Amino acid sequence: MQKYIITGIGTEVGKTVVSAIVSEALRANYWKPVQAGDLDFSDSMKVDAWTDNVNILEERYRLKTPMSPHAAADIDGISIASHDFQVPDVNPLVIEGAGGLMVPLNQTGLTYLDVFQKWNLPVILVSRHYLGSINHTLMSVDALKQRGIEIKGIIFVGDEHPTTESIILKSTGLPMIIRIPMTDEVNKDFVMEQAKRPEFLYSL
């Protein structure tokens, strides 16, 4: 069984690009349970446009406002419940979260971390170098480990930062799956090229 959750240490770290690349590498089904805002060019639509061998599954919630899911759902008059998140019975499968682990999904405090614990699937953590990223990465790893959630490894996005990456890997004991370079424009050529890298053959 190849089912992975892809989450990030925060917003704008490259989760969707990584999800597209991993999905293409595995020729997987892709599912983003909650899309908040950008419905005209959603993350599911982006992954579909950037890949050739990925089956896009319909989102469970499509919210109109680009905000935290709990707030966007409130505006739309929708109540998000934990029992609504049933993992699709398909394989292989890549699931993309939204924001970071502690993003609230409803007004009762349900977070993606709660949902991931319920699913009991391995997580791939996406990290990007910026001031504070070490702290955010280590906190994310600690939160996952405290819930007993398996972490497959870390994917770094952007230029190599040896001191940052080495202390993260040393502190967590996790492997680096791959580093995805930054690009001025994400397109199908970029995603397809990255998906063919041999690291995916023995890391996933």
Band the pLDDT of 201: cuts 50, 70, 90.
Answer: confident
Establish whether 170 is a catalytic residue.
no
Amino acid at 151: I
Please, what are the domains in the chain?
3-203 (3.40.50.300)
Residues near 161 by beta carbon (within 8 Å), at least 6 away in sequence? 129
Task: Write the pLDDT tens digit of every residue in 110-119.
Answer: 999 999 999 9
From the list 3, 32, 46, 152, the catalytic residue is 32
Tell me what pLDDT residue 61 has: 92
pTM score, two decimals?
A: 0.95
User: For residue 80, which of 101, 59, 66 has the smallest C-alpha distance?
Assistant: 59
Contact 87, 33 (CB under 8 A): no
**How far is the C-alpha of 129 from the C-alpha of 152, rounded, in Å?**
20
According to DSSP, residue 174 is labeled P
